[in-house]
């Protein structure tokens, strides 16, 4: 391998910058990946590496990747192509981490020869040695063993999230939904000890975090001894200083009554549940191996609504193998009826190794998939706009999270039901982490606009 690595660089701590080697890191994919990036930062810093937000200053470029749909792959390929040229100009080590590394393994190294290091989600403890080897000895490194035990217990994530904190309470997924690559990229389900999770929540609170999101591919499967997810959620909500707790994602097939009770009753646990439907047609649900029927999903929704006011959001897949126009229409009609707060709608994308890839032809054309996806996106936009417009003239409680994307003269935050709110800063408008009342005067499908009430 011809890697032009500056020979003066020493492993770990010392470097030509008088500090450790510098890493520039980009993260794609879900919140679990954001959390893993915090773990990687911590692991690398403990070995003397530094992080830089400027890629031109970096010795190492790391991508923490997602494999959930083909467009996630394509995004990474675009980024990698850019760094191929830069690597030729000056010595750079390029590492690919996360779900795509796990899913494609050697194939990625073979087709993109300028990648030096490939590390899957269960092997981050090996990253410092592999990167040092690549930097010092120009050796390629591959670590893609999945583990039944690795939960990164005792690694304190190096946070960058301000008043928002994430805690992965479990890793992996055993559900094997037919379309999904996650069980292959993240391996078997395993839960962390509640003690470690509560310690982490207390630490986050002491660092100024006010809102915690508990993460797992299937959080309601959390189990550690006598602890289930509902008990854990309540215990996190009881941590002094934490003002809001959220969680994602629960699976509709095993949503326990105790969890619903916790969401409905506990003032700190937000009244919003992400309940991925995927499809409203029973034949498709069965093909997807989701483990619930349309009726069972609706029975759960009824139970949730009885406890009301709880807001629902969802995920949907359009154009799954063999989905007919009528079957799609059932999903469309149910979305119309459900009036979700938000829906994340995806074109089905066949993933290697999955049950669907092995069993069913991916036989819906791109055009039809695109058409169906847009139909539901447009429908949901109308629903979200209507819901949001209903708040015009009312006051909503919002947690200040930081500046809005557009201006540092505006604050951005979310309502308890997770709608984004933007409003102008004023002298008395508070600081990140504060819960404030905002009077709404305008709405789009995704954002409420308001101001601090005058009296
Ligand atoms: N564990 C989470 C899902 C994580 S993936 C859960 O079960 O809720 C997030 C979403 O991506 C899924 O809910 C699904 O709607 C979508 N998705 C997963 N695999 C997909 C695929 N192959 N094609 C299109 N969308 C997919
Ligand atoms: Fe994928 Fe299903 Fe597991 Fe979610 S529950 S990560 S969709 S296999
Ligand atoms: Fe993507 Fe892996 Fe998350 S496939 S959605 S980064 S679990």
Q: Read off the pLDDT of each residue in 26-49 and give the average, rounded to a whole number.
A: 96
Atom of ligand 1 nearest to the CA of 274: 8
pLDDT band, very low/low/confident/very high, at 272 (cuts 50, 70, 90) = very high
Angle between helices 366-389 and 325-338 (to 10 degrees): 10
* DSSP helix/strand/coil, 171: strand
9 pLDDT more than 90: no
121, 143, 165 — which closes off a domain? 143
Residue 108 lies in a domain: yes
Residue nearest to atom 4 of ligand 2 (CA): 217
Residue 305 lies in a domain: no
Contact between 99 and 29 under an 8 Å Cβ cutoff? The reply is yes
The two counts, helices (H) then strands (E), for the chain are 14, 21
Residue 364 lies in a domain: no
The residue segments making up the domain with residue 62 are: 6-143
CATH of the domain at 137: 3.40.50.12160
Q: Which residues line ligand 2 (CB under 6 A)?
A: 173, 175-177, 180, 182-183, 217-218, 251
- Cα 318 from Cα 43, distance rounded (Å): 39
pLDDT tens, residue by residue, 137-180: 999 999 999 999 999 988 999 987 789 999 999 999 999 999 99
- Cα 416 from Cα 313, distance rounded (Å): 13
Contact between 345 and 373 under an 8 Å Cβ cutoff? The reply is yes
Residue 233 lies in a domain: no
Atom of ligand 3 nearest to the CA of 32: 3
Q: Read off the pLDDT of each residue in 317-332 and give the average, rounded to a whole number.
A: 98
Q: Read off the pLDDT of each residue in 270-297 and give the average, rounded to a whole number.
A: 98
User: What single-letter DSSP state applies at residue 278?
Assistant: B
Shortest CA distance to 216 belongs to which of 238, 195, 243, 246? 246
Ligand 3 pocket member 58 (CB < 6 A): no
- Quote the pLDDT of residue 16: 58
User: What single-letter DSSP state applies at residue 269?
Assistant: B
Q: Read off the pLDDT of each residue in 314-323 and give the average, rounded to a whole number.
A: 98
Nearest ligand, CA 364: 1
Ligand 3 pocket member 67 (CB < 6 A): yes
Atom of ligand 3 nearest to the CA of 31: 3
127, 143, 159 — which closes off a domain? 143
- Cα 7 from Cα 135, distance rounded (Å): 9
Nearest ligand, CA 317: 1
CATH of the domain at 424: 2.40.50.140
239 pLDDT more than 70: yes
- Quote the pLDDT of residue 18: 64
pLDDT band, very low/low/confident/very high, at 430 (cuts 50, 70, 90) = confident
Atom of ligand 3 nearest to the CA of 103: 4
Atom of ligand 2 nearest to the CA of 278: 7
Residue 421 lies in a domain: yes
Residue 276 lies in a domain: no
Distance of CA 179 from the midpoint of ligand 1 (Å): 8
For residue 176, the Cα-to-chain-centroid distance in whole angstroms is 18
Ligand 3 pocket member 218 (CB < 6 A): no
Contact between 453 and 430 under an 8 Å Cβ cutoff? The reply is no
Distance of CA 217 from the midpoint of ligand 3 (Å): 9
- Torsion sign across C-alpha atoms 166, 167, 173, 177: negative
Ligand 3 pocket member 171 (CB < 6 A): no
Number of domains in the chain: 2
* DSSP helix/strand/coil, 48: coil
Distance of CA 177 from the midpoint of ligand 2 (Å): 6
- Quote the pLDDT of residue 7: 36
On average, the pLDDT of the chain sits at 93
- Quote the pLDDT of residue 166: 94
pLDDT tens, residue by residue, 172-225: 999 999 999 999 999 999 999 999 999 999 999 999 999 999 999 999 999 999
112, 143, 174 — which closes off a domain? 143
Q: What is the pTM of this model?
A: 0.93
Contact between 26 and 94 under an 8 Å Cβ cutoff? The reply is no
């Amino acid at each position: 391998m011809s890697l032009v690595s500056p020979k003066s660089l020493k492993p770990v701590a010392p470097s030509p910058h008088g500090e450790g080697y510098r890493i520039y890191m980009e993260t794609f994919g879900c919140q679990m990946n954001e959390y893993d990036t915090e773990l990687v930062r911590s692991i690398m810093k403990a070995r003397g590496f530094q992080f830089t937000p400027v890629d031109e200053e970096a010795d190492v470029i790391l991508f923490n990747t997602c494999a959930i749909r083909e467009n996630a792959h394509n995004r990474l390929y675009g980024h990698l192509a850019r760094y191929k040229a830069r690597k030729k100009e000056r010595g750079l080590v390029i590492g690919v981490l996360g779900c795509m590394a796990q899913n494609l393994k050697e194939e990625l190294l073979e087709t993109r020869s300028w990648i030096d290091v490939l590390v899957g989600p269960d092997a981050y403890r090996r990253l410092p040695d592999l990167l040092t080897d690549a930097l010092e000895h120009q050796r390629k490194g591959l670590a893609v063993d999945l583990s039944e035990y690795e939960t990164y217990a005792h690694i304190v994530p190096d946070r960058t999230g301000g008043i928002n904190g994430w805690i992965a309470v479990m890793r992996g997924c055993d559900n094997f939904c037919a379309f999904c690559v996650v069980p292959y990229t993240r391996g078997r389900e395993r839960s962390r000890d509640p003690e470690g999770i509560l310690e982490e929540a207390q630490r986050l609170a002491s660092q100024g975090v006010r809102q915690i999101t508990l993460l797992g591919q299937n959080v309601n499967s959390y189990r550690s001894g006598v602890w289930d997810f509902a008990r854990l959620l309540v215990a996190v909500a009881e941590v002094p200083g934490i003002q809001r707790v959220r969680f994602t994602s629960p699976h509709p097939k095993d949503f326990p009554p105790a969890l619903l009770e916790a969401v409905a009753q506990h003032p700190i646990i937000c009244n919003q549940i992400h309940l991925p439907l995927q499809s409203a047609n029973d034949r498709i649900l069965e093909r997807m191996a989701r483990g619930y029927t349309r009726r069972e999903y609706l029975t759960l929704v009824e139970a949730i609504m009885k406890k009301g006011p709880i807001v629902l959001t969802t995920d949907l897949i359009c154009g799954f193998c063999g989905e007919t126009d009528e079957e799609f229409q059932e999903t469309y009609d149910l979305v119309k009826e459900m009036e979700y707060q938000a829906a994340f709608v995806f074109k089905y994308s066949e993933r290697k190794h999955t049950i669907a890839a092995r069993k069913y032809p991916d036989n819906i054309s791109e055009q039809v998939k695109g058409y169906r996806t847009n139909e539901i996106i447009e429908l949901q936009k109308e629903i979200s706009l209507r819901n949001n417009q209903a708040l015009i003239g009312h006051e909503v409680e919002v947690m200040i999270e930081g500046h809005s994307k557009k201006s540092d003269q505006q604050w951005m935050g979310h309502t308890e039901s997770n709608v984004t709110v933007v409003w102008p800063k004023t002298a008395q408008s508070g600081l990140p982490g504060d819960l404030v009342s905002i009077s709404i005067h305008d709405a789009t499908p995704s954002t409420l606009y308001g101001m601090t009430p005058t009296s």
